[in-house]
Amino acid sequence: MRLDTMLGNLTNNYRGGGVFMIPVFKVAMAPDAPERVAEVVRSGRLEHGPRAEALEAELGRRIGNPRVATVNCATSGLHLALHLLVGRDPYRPDPTPERDEVLTTPLTFEGTNWPIPGNGLRIRWVDTDPHTLNLDLEDLERKISPRTRAIVVVHWLGFPVDLAELDDVLDRARRRLGFRPPVVEDCAQAWGATYRGRPLGNHGNTAVYSFQTIKLLTAGGGGLMVFPEAESHRRALRTRWFGIDRADDRTRGEYSVPEWGFRCPMDEISAEIGSANLEMIDDLLAGHRANAYRYDKELQDVPGLEHTERPDDRAPTFWAYPVKVEDRPGFMRRLGEAGIGTTVLARRNDDHPAVAAARESLPGLDSVADRVCYLPVGWWLTEEQREHIVDTVRSGW
């Protein structure tokens, strides 16, 4: 199936013949968003400006970390994060040219990983923990080496990685190798998730959120970078706009570029959509969690179905609801016949020809790659629809 067709099916309420299909994802849009966008258009101020700056401030307040920068998409944020931390710059000497690997997970969407070669670095795959579907921290520790330049972790489906254990792994790496690799957290699916009571973006790493169309908090596009210290934040604000400090007087050419950059700021239309939707995000998140907890209870002891583990020191977003099933094609066919959307969401990234040279044995991922699929769990589900999903799954496939 074509990727654009697959994504269309995920968000469509209907299938052929006008039959209702419960979607896996649905776009959340505040009722007043269209008029607010119209005001932006009428203003003539469409590029990054006061609305984006106001959204940045409010997002930082909600996260509890003011060192934030909006960007045009999360993939740009990930690319910029790696560039700031470890990217290769042909105009600056590289003190550690032998460190050219970034450790990352293949169980994610390609937008997580393509910024790695985009920064002139090599991907090194880390296995998947089949119990959580997140990166396997034991395999990560085995693979941190003198070649490691950075680590990317994904909070898959909004379920946080064990960040305390990750810290311990990095501390042991420092003692063993003499350096601590920097970490980028991909929080694309994790707006509202917390680890040990604190929102993601407060645990000493650079974090990147997504506000893409079908995310829980959508701006129609866009993303947010969150930084652990002031210098990286300052550089990000500059390098997201060609390396130019926007406070400089450019009208008379009185500005300089201390380091080159990109062009990836959030525009005013996206910022206004995000601001409108931010006002209802808590209710949407509560709906996802309530539905997920009902599944946790009502889908226990279903033959051929296994749940992921979720320690109680973290609060996921449940952007989608994962299950590991026997006979995945049969399971998905049965739900489709009942008018219930399902998806495998993303192809394992290590299977793409573009990165064939990086392929290696990943037994944890192999054990779940053909079993995992995702159920509708979002705010749009009615009580009747949720019961229909539960009854269909429990009836077998």
What structural domains and CATH numbers belong to the chain?
3-29+280-394 (3.90.1150.10), 33-278 (3.40.640.10)
DSSP state of 23: -
Residue entry with tokens 């604190």: 198
Per-residue tens of pLDDT for the chain, all 397 residues: 333 333 334 444 444 444 579 999 999 999 999 999 999 999 999 999 999 999 999 999 999 999 999 999 999 999 999 999 998 888 888 888 888 999 999 999 999 999 999 999 999 999 999 999 999 999 999 999 999 999 999 999 999 999 999 999 999 999 999 999 999 999 999 999 999 999 999 999 999 999 999 999 999 999 999 999 999 999 999 999 999 988 776 767 778 899 999 999 999 999 999 999 999 999 999 999 999 999 999 999 999 999 999 999 999 999 999 999 999 999 999 999 999 999 999 999 999 999 999 999 999 999 999 999 999 999 999 999 999 999 999 999 9
In sign, the C-alpha dihedral spanning 31, 37, 43, 45 is: positive
Residue entry with tokens 């990930």: 78
- The structure's pTM equals 0.93
| Residues 342, 374 contacting (CB under 8 angstroms) | yes
CA distances from 125 to 137, 155, 158, 159, 385 (A): 12, 16, 21, 20, 39
Query: How would you label 36-46 residue by residue, b for 16+ Cβ within 10 Å and e otherwise?
Result: ebeebeeeeee
How far apart CA 140 and CA 126 sit, in angstroms, is 6
Question: Which tokens hold the place of 336?
Answer: 């489709």
How far apart CA 345 and CA 347 sit, in angstroms, is 7
